[in-house]
Every structure is written in C-alpha cells, then in structure tokens.
C-alpha cells in the first residue's frame, strides 16, 4: 500500500479522542481536532425535553455519577451530572503522570449537546467532518432523526455544499436501516452509513440497505472476513471500519483499502499512517 493511499484514509475520532479524554466530552473532541482528526464521530440521544445529547449508552450509569435512561431525563438533570471523573480516576490508576494537555473548566465533565459540538466544529479553523450515529429508544421513534435534521439545517449542514465531488461535511450512521430510511426520505443528499456488528445473510454479497452507500463493519468482521471488504468495494460502497485501535488492525485496514478508520486513538493512527 503506497504512502499516498495511506494518506487518503480518513481518520475519525470515535467519541472524540476518547482514549485520552472522557468520551463524548467537549475536551475529547477538542483534543481530536488538535490532534488532526479528519472527522469526529458521536452518538446522539434525545432527552425527555427534546435536546440531542452526545451519549452512547441508553442509561447514564456507566459514564456519569448518575443513574437512569437518557430519554427519561431532562437536559438540566444531565447537566448536574459528572461525565468525566470516571475517566480521570481510571487514568490515575494506570499512570503516575497526568495528561500532557489541559481541558478548560467543565470541558471534561459536562454533558455535551450536539448543538455545542456543531459550534466547536464550526469554529475549528479547518474543515472537520462529522459522523453522527443515531440512537433511538422506541419511545422516541422518528423524533431523533427529525430533531437531528432540524439542527443540521440550522447550521447549514443538511445538504452537501461546495464544489461538485466535494465530500459532505456530515454523514449519518446507524445500526438501524429504518433510521437511515428516515434520514434519506427527509434529506436524500445526506450520506448514510449502515453499521454492522455481524454480516447478515442478506448482506453477505456486499449489498447494503436501499440508498445506503457506505458500509460500517466492526473491526471483528474485518479480521474474521477480510474478503468482505472486497465484496463491499465491488458493489461500489465505501468502507468505514470501527473501532480500530491496535496497530495491527490499522495495518489490516490499510492493506484492504478501507476508506475510513474510526478510532479512539486518532493521534496514534495518524502517526502510523505517516501523517503525525
């Protein structure tokens, strides 16, 4: 694989630079931008009062000092929680030294709204793309996508801009084909990514759900079935692999010609690709 090909692979910061800062915090995303990530990945969930927040799990128990489902809590409830000290404590147990960077007050502990993340990207000073994964409890079926598109429109990100052939600054990802159909129906020019933990029989030949042009296989699929990437490529799809943290997995992805590597360690991957 040539150096030129390595440098074409997009490096996407998974939940921000989440190996170095608490996932989905402003500090993690700011660090990813500083490290040179090409794009930022985030998960979005809808609060009880209609705000999109960047939280992966259905419940806040793992990543905060609170308890309960995101969909049952209001933004003010989430704002009162600490979403970062668990990571700081974890780092303290594994290293006697602190991180080599400092977050501003609250950036590594406060819940992050998608609106605030969009503001950060807007002010980044260089092009940074967004890969937004929809999370959608049944009680909010369809509302997550609706609110997402309203917010993207407010920032002028609901359709590709720039010269023909330029990539869209935003793509929407989901494990749910139904969620992607909703996005395509309302915003047909927005790229969509079908995420996969395993390859179902209907997709083994490289086909994806109707209208989807980007495959998002997990790295376990790529390790176990490297030929699947070629099938996806032959079908005309891009391939964005998650979550790629180990050097040998980066090498595997490069060798297979994937289009994007989604990683908790964007700085390390960029260095491995000769871009650090």
Whether 203 is catalytic? no
Alpha-carbon gap, residue 173 to 171, rounded angstroms: 7
State in Å, rounded, how far the first CA of the chain is from the last one.
18
Q: Which residue from 22, 34, 102 is spatially nearest to 276, judged by alpha carbons?
A: 34
- Residue 62 φ/ψ, nearest 5 degrees: -70, -40
- Look at strands 39-46 and 52-53 and give their pairing: antiparallel
- The whole-angstrom separation of Cα 105 and Cα 84 is 12
14 is catalytic: yes
Q: Single out the catalytic residue among 24, 56, 136, 203.
A: 56
Q: What is the DSSP string of 106-130?
A: TTTTS--BHHHHHHHHHTSSS--EE
The rounded distance, in Å, linking the Cα atoms of 242 and 263 is 7
Name the residues annotated as catalytic.
Answer: 14, 56
């Amino acid at each position: 694989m040539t150096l030129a090909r390595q440098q074409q692979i997009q490096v996407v910061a998974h939940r921000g630079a989440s190996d170095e800062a608490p996932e989905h915090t402003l500090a993690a995303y700011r660090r990813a931008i500083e490290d040179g990530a090409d794009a930022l990945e985030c998960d979005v969930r809808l609060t009880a009062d209609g705000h999109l927040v960047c939280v992966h799990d259905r419940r806040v128990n793992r990543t905060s000092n609170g308890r309960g489902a995101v969909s049952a809590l209001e933004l003010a409830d989430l704002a009162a929680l600490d979403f970062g000290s668990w990571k700081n404590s974890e780092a303290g147990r594994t290293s006697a030294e602190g991180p080599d960077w400092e977050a501003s007050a609250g950036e590594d502990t406060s819940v992050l709204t998608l609106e605030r993340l969009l503001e950060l990207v807007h002010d980044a000073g260089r092009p940074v793309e967004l890969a937004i994964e929809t999370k959608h409890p049944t009680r909010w079926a369809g509302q997550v996508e609706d609110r997402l598109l309203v917010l993207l429109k407010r920032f002028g990100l609901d359709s590709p801009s720039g010269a023909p052939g330029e990539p869209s600054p935003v793509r929407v990802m989901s494990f749910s084909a139904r969620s992607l159909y909703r996005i395509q129906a309302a915003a047909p020019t927005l790229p969509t990514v079908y995420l996969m933990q395993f390859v179902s029989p209907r997709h083994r030949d490289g086909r994806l759900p109707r209208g989807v042009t980007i495959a998002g296989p997990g790295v376990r699929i790529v390790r176990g079935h490297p030929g699947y990437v070629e099938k996806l490529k032959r079908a005309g799809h891009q391939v964005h692999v998650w979550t790629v943290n180990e050097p040998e997995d980066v090498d595997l992805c490069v060798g297979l010609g994937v289009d994007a590597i989604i990683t908790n360690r964007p700085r390390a991957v960029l260095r491995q690709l000769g871009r650090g």
